[in-house]
Structure 1
Amino acid sequence: MQQFYLLFHTLQQHKLASWKLLVLAAGLILGCVVLFTYSSTSTVRSDRPSPDLSPSETSSNADSDATNKADSSANACYIDLNLLRLYADNASSVEYARLNFGVLRTENFTAFSDSLDVSIPSNRIVHLDTSASREIQTENDCTASVTIEVPLISPRPDASHMVFGVATSLEKLEDSLDAFSHWAGNTNAQIIAVVEQGGSSIRRRIQQRAKDLGIRLTITQTEDDRLDRYFSLIQVLYQHRHESTQWAVLIDDDTFFPSMKNLVDKLASYDSSIPQYVGAMTEDLARLSGTGYMAYGGAGIFLSLPLLSSLQYVFETCHAFKERGDRMLASCIYAHTDAKFTWERGLYQLDLHGDLSGFFESGRPLPLSVHHWRSWFQADMVALGKVSAVCGDECLLRRFQLSKDWFLVNGYSVIQDRTLWNDPRPMEQTWDKSKYKGSDPFAYSLGPLRRADPDKVSLRLRGVVEDEDSGSIRQVYVLSGADEKPPRVLEVVWAVVEED
């Protein structure tokens, strides 16, 4: 402060104007105060063994700590309580167990073993009536119970030689996109949908979503009723052919192909340069008296391009039949061409109602097609197919024996059947009797068959979660609670492991 007084005195001697003197003096006073305050603060801080953090620094470190804790929690082994709440029928608790499969991809893969020699883990009670979203477990709970070899994941097949046609509504078409993406996405297969007039906004939404899913979808609108729309596919598919087209395929909006690769490979065994009429019969034999020997549309009807071409000349004549769509097509082919129906046994119409678990749990080769899966019976084929991203199409519906009487039907159920291990070949007849007079309820085309086991325990797939970061798949199998018992939940985790 002494320097200030000397300077002030000097200014007075130079006789500066009073107003300039006051402004300059005020600035000098303020500067001295700032210097004094900074000097004091610096001294205090330098005496401390560790510096204090400013509010912004404190906040930043707190956020960092929280992030580290969150990362630690994310990487931990845990039970996803929100996932269980989603599929546990509003129960306050569940009997929970977890089974972990390590998946080792190898180019030397030959075949899956039918038996994995692994036991179902013991159940524990998990409470869901809490505010928590996770329950941390030990690392042992997430360690693979068994590691199995699987084939290398094949690239998506090229199906540019196939054009699919479906006559449906805009609403059903939108509901079918997830299913279509499983088999048609990024394969260059064309799908032509013939729908009713109108609905410009939903049509644009469908086209955009199909594009996002890698589906080559063309929507054609008509005023015809659904029966005529179906038969019109004969002309529409021909109009949308291109140089590489070999097959035209008529499907329903609930036709599902579990493996496009298998379908492409199977079609390659047929000569597409000659007229070919390929499909599947109904499993309900009583229907044959009214429909005859023909391809049923829901299983997929495959017409080679030469046959499709010849039908163009008789389209108007055949249109006068006015029968069911697939029946009209069969009548047209039989009346005007030399082509004869070929029953491809891997295609399934599944004209069966009720519980189709016996079909899906049979342990037989993966079907080429499945129909009626969300109408006549319930089987979430989209969720079922997701595990193929980890272990390949070959493991879909693969029936693994875990222990003597426990089996995993991959993507569909986990079952306890005390008789299956002794005679695994016959298919369990679980579906309802036919509504058609005189039908045998056993559908012998699916034989050999056996009676349904009343003592079988079956945990059905309720949901699937894909972890994009790790590439793992988590399947949730549930047995609904009974007699005031909580639901039973088995979470099956498929995770890729690296070779040592």
Structure 2
Amino acid sequence: MLFKGPCSVHSRLAHMLMALVLLGLFVQTLRIATDGKRSPLLKDAEVIPEGNASPEELYLGRLTRELGLSNEASWVAWRIQPSEQSEVWPSVTEVQLNFGAVSPKTINLASPDRMDLYAKKRMELPVPTGPKLGDVDASDFLFGISTTYARISDRDYAMIKAWARWLTDGHHHSNGASMVVVLDQANASQLDEVDRALQASGLDCWVTTTEEPMSMARRYFELTRILKTFAANLAANGQNKRWFGLVEDDVFFPSLSYLRDRLFSYNTDSQHYIGLPSEKLDWDTSENEQIQTHGGGAVLLTLSALTRIPNLPCFETERSKKTSFKSKRWDELLHTCLMKHTELQMHVLPGFYSPNDKTVDENVDSYETGQQPLLLRRYAHRHLLNINKAHLVTNVCGESCFMQRYLFKDNWVLVNGISITQYPDGVKIEHKETHKGAPTEEKKEEHQKRSNPDSDEAGRDISGSLTERLLIDDDAGSVDRATLSWSGRRNAWKLVDSAVSKDGAVWQAYFKRGKKNSARDVQQQQQSSSADEKDSIIVLVWEQAKSAL
């Protein structure tokens, strides 16, 4: 397409057209590259889709494909404007409006009516004041995780994506926290592949592998030595870590800033050993009916406590045994070792369950109790939760809005990122007086007194059924634990999808499968308009948050 000879009008026009074509190709290439780095609601919506489809139509199409929807479905859509109002986490927020004010529409999935899909109703919901991912400084933390290549590469590196939710700023940069990952007998190619994936996600991470068969317990003992050496290297480069975590690969911290606040009372210059059990399943009852925990797959240590472990007799003895520790969990063996060879106590920061709590309702899912989550463990196995989708809403309303519970005037309950539940026959709320506030110097002094081996408080059981040298620091008297009770019907929608649109809003889809248990049910559904027999979708569009005045 090049022209030879003297310049002419035609050649000038040709050059201008060529320049415009090249510019257009460059812009399109840049747009595609940019789209690939974002988490779009729908790539179709961001690349200017053909026709005049609305975002709601495109989102319905996405859900139809992912959920296997067919024929008809019930559809409800709300727009939500979060508003930061308080630093205190409420166990339940009562909302003086009817969630059912938007009537469900029956949607023909083959040819949906745009006006039936359109989310025109908007509500404002209060959220606790809290940082977003890009505002968190987690530079005090260094975590150690042991896993396998198969687990870390499964489902397109879903595990690394989950780690990036709490170890980065959400834009492929570290939030200051560092991590060491030990792979079990990975080859060089696998090690390099995982390293590239970790670096691409923005994690400040060093990955290595074992060369011989090791039990998980032995790998975590080796991790203490690695963390000790790695911490010294970081300190030499001006990065002084204060907290060192041994955590399992399926542990998720919804908010490292909240974890940091819970650790405020502990003097990091002293020796501290802290367990972080999440749910009741992370506690055990011994033969003599004593309640105990070994940490629940997540343990935090100060540097002075960490440096003692590699020198303990049990560590030196067991590191030479290739098949040791198979009968017990790593956190249990670590706890046994520390209790036998040191004077350390285990302080416990419970997540959703504490033996001190007298208001536990066995019929309510832990994630729906309205408690602010400290950490989640085995969330996919225990709760079938896609954590990357569930936690995405924090992009717009901050870390403190995840799992926040709302009770609407017409007996609907939203647990943000988890579920929406309707109680047609009513639901009752029981409040407990609380005085929760920011950590105080008095609390800090109390923790230091109880942590001092020379103190009269040291090693004292806080409950007659608790194991000796186990101290639960749950501030039970100052945490809001309002409970909801009901009788009769209960209709539940679970979160199945979440994504970010081009304007930064987070779209959530909560889903309830219709009654289609047999060919007869399908035939009846085709002849009936009953909402219970249709797949039901509730869409919440979380828009950018308003800051408190």
- Scaled by the length of structure 1, the TM-score of the pair is 0.71
For residue 229 of structure 1, the aligned residue among 201, 205, 219 is 219
- State the secondary structure of the residue aligned to 1:397: coil
For residue 337 of structure 1, the aligned residue among 333, 342, 352 is 342
Shift of 1:73: 3.2
CA RMSD of aligned residues (A): 3.8
Alignment of 1:113-262 (within 5 A): 114-119=93-98, 120=100, 121-129=102-110, 135-137=113-115, 141-146=119-124, 148=126, 151=129, 153-154=131-132, 155-174=134-153, 175-185=158-168, 186-222=174-210, 223=212, 224-241=214-231, 242-243=234-235, 244-262=240-258
Give distance in 2, aligned partners of 1:75 and 1:170: 41
Is the alpha carbon distance of 1:146 and 1:161 closer, same or farther for their aligned partners in structure 2, counting shifts above 3 Å? closer
What residue number does 1:46 align with? none
Give per-residue Cα distances to partners, 1:369-397, cap 9 Å, x unaligned.
11111224412222111101111112111
Q: Is the 8 A contact 1:349 1:371 kept in 2?
A: no
- State the secondary structure of the residue aligned to 2:94: coil
Is the alpha carbon distance of 1:99 and 1:295 closer, same or farther for their aligned partners in structure 2, counting shifts above 3 Å? same
Which of 1 and 2 has higher RCO (CA within 8 Å, sep 6+)?
2
Give per-residue Cα distances to partners, 1:389-437, cap 9 Å, x unaligned.
11111211111122231011110000013577413469xxxxxxxxxxx
1:400 aligned onto 2:406: yes
What residue number does 1:19 align with? none
For residue 496 of structure 2, the aligned residue among 457, 462, 476 is 462
- State the secondary structure of the residue aligned to 1:141: coil
1:289 aligned onto 2:279: no
What residue number does 1:10 align with? none
- State the secondary structure of the residue aligned to 2:260: helix
Give the % identical residues. Answer: 20
Residue identity matched to 1:176: M
Shift of 1:103: 3.1
Is the alpha carbon distance of 1:346 and 1:166 closer, same or farther for their aligned partners in structure 2, counting shifts above 3 Å? same
Larger radius of gyration: 1
Q: Is the 8 A contact 2:495 2:509 kept in 1?
A: yes
Give distance in 1, aligned partners of 2:364 and 2:341: 41
Q: Is the 8 A contact 2:283 2:292 kept in 1?
A: no
Q: Is the 8 A contact 1:252 1:297 kept in 2?
A: no
What residue number does 2:460 align with? none
Give per-residue Cα distances to partners, 1:297-349, cap 9 Å, x unaligned.
54510111111112222130465784431111011111121110111123769
Is the alpha carbon distance of 1:74 and 1:471 closer, same or farther for their aligned partners in structure 2, counting shifts above 3 Å? farther
Give distance in 2, aligned partners of 1:183 and 1:68: 29
What is the total number of aligned residue pairs between the two structures?
A: 407
Q: Is the 8 A contact 1:156 1:261 kept in 2?
A: no
What residue number does 2:536 align with? 488
Q: Which runs of 5+ in 2 are unaligned?
A: 1-23, 25-45, 169-173, 356-361, 433-473, 516-520, 526-532
Give distance in 1, aligned partners of 2:260 and 2:108: 47
Q: Is the 8 A contact 1:118 1:146 kept in 2?
A: no
Is the alpha carbon distance of 1:378 and 1:349 closer, same or farther for their aligned partners in structure 2, counting shifts above 3 Å? farther
Give distance in 1, aligned partners of 2:251 and 2:415: 21
Is the alpha carbon distance of 1:79 and 1:194 closer, same or farther for their aligned partners in structure 2, counting shifts above 3 Å? closer
Give distance in 1, aligned partners of 2:47 and 2:178: 48
- State the secondary structure of the residue aligned to 2:379: coil
Is the alpha carbon distance of 1:201 and 1:128 closer, same or farther for their aligned partners in structure 2, counting shifts above 3 Å? farther
For residue 99 of structure 1, the aligned residue among 61, 78, 82 is 78
Give distance in 1, aligned partners of 2:408 and 2:152: 39
Q: Is the 8 A contact 1:318 1:332 kept in 2?
A: no
Q: Is the 8 A contact 1:153 1:389 kept in 2?
A: no
Give distance in 2, aligned partners of 1:98 and 1:356: 29
Shift of 1:477: 0.3
Is the alpha carbon distance of 1:477 and 1:76 closer, same or farther for their aligned partners in structure 2, counting shifts above 3 Å? closer
Out of 413-422 and 247-256, give the one that drifted further: 413-422
Q: Is the 8 A contact 1:397 1:411 kept in 2?
A: yes
For residue 268 of structure 1, the aligned residue among 264, 272, 277 is 264
Give per-residue Cα distances to partners, 1:472-495, cap 9 Å, x unaligned.
011000011114422111011111
- State the secondary structure of the residue aligned to 1:165: strand
Residue identity matched to 2:495: L
Is the alpha carbon distance of 1:465 and 1:262 closer, same or farther for their aligned partners in structure 2, counting shifts above 3 Å? same
What residue number does 2:428 align with? 422
Is the alpha carbon distance of 1:404 and 1:487 closer, same or farther for their aligned partners in structure 2, counting shifts above 3 Å? same
Q: Is the 8 A contact 1:280 1:349 kept in 2?
A: no
- State the secondary structure of the residue aligned to 1:125: strand
Residue identity matched to 1:126: I
Is the alpha carbon distance of 1:398 and 1:471 closer, same or farther for their aligned partners in structure 2, counting shifts above 3 Å? same
Give distance in 1, aligned partners of 2:220 and 2:354: 17
